[in-house]
Structures are given as C-alpha cells and as structure tokens.
Amino acid sequence: MDVINEVRPSDPAQIKGMTEQGPDGPIFMVNLLKFKDKAEYEDGRETDLTGRQAYGLYGAAVAGILPDFGGRLFYMSDVTFLSLGQVEDLWDEVAIAAYPDRASLLRMSMSEAWQAASVHRTAGLAGQLNIETVMPKAAQGLPWMEMFLKEMSA
C-alpha cells in the first residue's frame, strides 16, 4: 500500500466525489496530520511559528466555524506510537470532525471564514490524509450512539 500525504486534493475523482451526495446520515472525517518543522506561508510572510503552531491557528478557527455547518470536533490527539503495521514516517496528530453529511463539509470548506483560516493550514501541513467514515449499521440504535446523533441534529 502506497500512502501519499497531500495538502490539497489532486485526484479528479476525489474532487468530483466531494460534490456528490455521499452516505446518509453523519460522517466522521478522520484527519491524519503531518506538520512541517517550520511554518511556510504561501504569501512569503516571515514567521517563527512551527508547522504545528500554524495548524493550531487553523484548528482554533475551524472549531468556531464547525457549528455554523452542523459539525463539531469529535476527537483530537497526538500520535505517539505505531503498535501494528509499518509506515515510513508516522503522522503527528489525529483529528476527527463530525458533520451532518458530506454537503455540510463541502459548504464549510467553501465558506469565506474557512478560506481565511486555511492559510494557516497550508502553512503548517506537510501533508495529510482525510478519510470519510460512517457509523456502522451495527452501532445504530445503541443508546450512546443515539445520544450522539441527537446532539448532532440539534
């Protein structure tokens, strides 16, 4: 399995897929993040920020934007150890955001607020994988999942 971290989508099929309806119900976007050692802004501005710090500015802004599109930050943590499998270089952080549907994610990423914040994302990331996931049918109806889904639709 080859893994290619990217900052922007390059596969036309992936870009087209983001505009399609997607699965019913909420989606959970798993973000595997790899940071640059030093942030590099596309406009050439000087900075003493690390990639993680620049991405932190983006993350803080997005945490405030997510609720406007029905989403929320679900989980975030540092990657500390690879206990199974092999990969040349581990990601630095994992973040999971929940959205009511794929269209909500697309609307957010097209918003002016997200576009303004994304300069920090690009400056800080060496690359990432974004993986769309959905709740398995077996989990539907479980009390804790029903409470979560109720929160998502409120």
**Annotated domain spans of the chain:** 19-153
**Residue whose pair of structure tokens reads 């997510």 in the numeric block:** 66
CB 26, CB 120: distance < 8 Å: no
Other Cβ atoms within 10 Å of 65 Cβ, number: 17
The first and second tokens of residue 145, run together, are 């999942």
- pLDDT in single tens digits along all 154 residues of the chain: 566 656 666 666 666 666 667 777 789 999 999 999 999 999 999 999 999 999 999 999 999 999 999 999 988 999 999 999 888 889 999 999 999 999 999 999 999 999 999 999 999 999 999 999 998 777 667 777 777 667 766 5
Domain 19-153: assigned CATH number: 3.30.70.100
With b for 16 or more beta-carbon neighbours within 10 A and e for fewer, the 8-22 pattern comes to: eeeeeeeeeeeeeeb
Residues 6+ apart with CB under 8 A from 51: 35, 36, 37, 38, 39, 123, 124, 125, 126
119 CB-contact burial (10 Å; exposed 0-12 / middle 13-18 / buried 19+): middle
- Sheet with 27-35, strands from edge to edge, namely 72-78, 93-99, 27-35, 125-134
pTM: 0.82
Kind and range of the H or E run holding 145: helix 143-153
